[in-house]
Amino acid sequence: MAIRNRRNNDKFFIDITFNRKRYRFVCPKNTLAAAKNYERVILGKLARGEEIKESEPEQEVNQIPTFKDFVPEWINSYVKSNNRPSEQWNKWSVLKVHLLPWFGDMTLDRITSRDIENFKAAKINANLSPKTVNNHLIVLSRILHIANEWEIIDKIPKIKKIKVVAKKIDFLTEDELESLLDNSEGHLKEMILLAARTGLRFGELIGLKWENINLAGDEPSLAVINSISRGIIGPPKSGKARYIPLVKEVERILRNRTQINGYVFADKDGKFLAHTTYLSQIKKACRKAGLRKIGWHTLRHTFASHLAMKGVPMVALKELMGHSSITTTMIYAHLSRSTLVESIRLLEKPENKILGTIWAPAILTGNEILSDNKKCL
């Protein structure tokens, strides 16, 4: 098999030998990507035993696949190999509801920046938030980039994201958290406390096993190794395990109900808990406590926000939260204004003449951060 480009007329020629017979064709489109697709189509016909004419008519060959024809290959070859189950589901949902109805019948090489701008405008007019539309654009961009990497298309249209105003982070104050705990009981109360004092995502919380808990020695901790999403067990969102020291009140709860194996929070059959059940329960507890409705992720924000307000360095907070990038952690930076003020005041003290003392504070260890609940949270 070979693809050759004749410089004098800028045409690409396909040369294939199959079952001792040679086939030579001129590619209808003068691009390398089109030639490779043309070759792929011819090979497919030969493999299926279809008749190939010595001069294959151009109109019989669909060189560049349509968006809807390429998506199944992208899902099976790329998404399933590189994305967690929850991410796979989210991508398919975006495709089914938004991208396929709009771009489905277009060949990949015919999708232009103008088409994408029209898509953005239509979704904004349909009252979708800019952040939601940007999430759709991320999926579209990934598809087109993979098509380019696989040499199906020669170029990628420019995709401009919509500017998004950062939303205010919702978290509970200490008094609100105390009220929520007072109006909860059993598994729910323990889960709320653990989430607010460790920053675990709900999937990580229900995926926590006793074998991940270490209560021995002077530094009790838990390891975040598993996460459960839509009934599927997988790694945490970042793909990496992380270790979180336990505050005294969490340690006490776990010591009082330590088991040998299984999930820390399980149903009567020992299976992991359902998200929908405990989402309704936490909302019911909020109503009872006279609080606004919150979800489990608000407790994760509560953990990070309280630490930020106590001056914990963003680098240390990043590790405790399991963020893959410090950029994500920086959404809590505005809560540590008192730390910034104290840093600037160092300029007023003559004994601190080295700027390094301002911008390179020592990073606390996890144990120093969370060793005492009253001190840190």
Q: Does 335 lie in the same domain as 219?
A: yes
pLDDT of 167: 78
pLDDT of 16: 82
Q: Does 312 lie in the same domain as 370?
A: yes
Query: What pTM, to 2 d.p., does this model score?
Result: 0.67
Q: Does 302 lie in the same domain as 183?
A: yes
pLDDT of 59: 42
Q: Does 200 lie in the same domain as 219?
A: yes
Low-confidence spans in the chain with pLDDT less than 70: 1-2, 4-10, 29-30, 52-63, 258, 337-340, 343, 349-377
Q: Whole domain around residue 27: which residue ranges?
A: 2-60
Domain count, the chain: 3
The CA distances from residue 377 to 137, 166, 306, 372, in Å, are 39, 25, 6, 8
Element of type H or E holding 23: strand 21-26
Element of type H or E holding 17: strand 11-18
Q: Where are the alpha helices (DSSP H) in the chain?
A: 32-47, 67-74, 80-82, 85-94, 100-103, 113-125, 130-149, 174-182, 186-198, 202-206, 248-256, 275-289, 296-309, 314-321, 326-329, 337-345, 356-359, 366-370, 373-376
pLDDT of 369: 46
In the numeric block, the tokens 């089914």 are attached to 96
Q: What secondary structure letter does DSSP report for 362?
A: P
Q: Tell me whether strands 21-26 and 213-214 are parallel, antiparallel or unpaired.
A: unpaired
Element of type H or E holding 232: strand 232-234
Residues linked to residue 76 through DSSP beta bridges, in sequence order: none
pLDDT of 4: 65
Q: Does 216 lie in the same domain as 344?
A: yes
User: Please, are residues 42 and 13 in contact by the beta-carbon 8 Å criterion?
Assistant: no
Q: Classify burial at 281, counting beta carbons within 10 Å of its beta carbon; exposed 0-12, middle 13-18, buried 19 or more.
A: middle
Give residue-wise pLDDT tens across range 101-157.
999 999 999 999 999 999 999 999 999 999 999 999 999 999 999 999 988 888 999
Q: Does 312 lie in the same domain as 287?
A: yes
In the numeric block, the tokens 């607010």 are attached to 196
The CA distances from residue 280 to 186, 260, 267, 276, in Å, are 15, 29, 16, 6
Q: Does 249 lie in the same domain as 116?
A: no
Q: Does 174 lie in the same domain as 249?
A: yes
- CA 328: distance to chain centroid? 11
Rounded Cα distance between 228 and 296, Å, is 14
In a domain, residue 138? The reply is yes
Q: Tell me whether strands 242-245 and 2-6 are parallel, antiparallel or unpaired.
A: unpaired
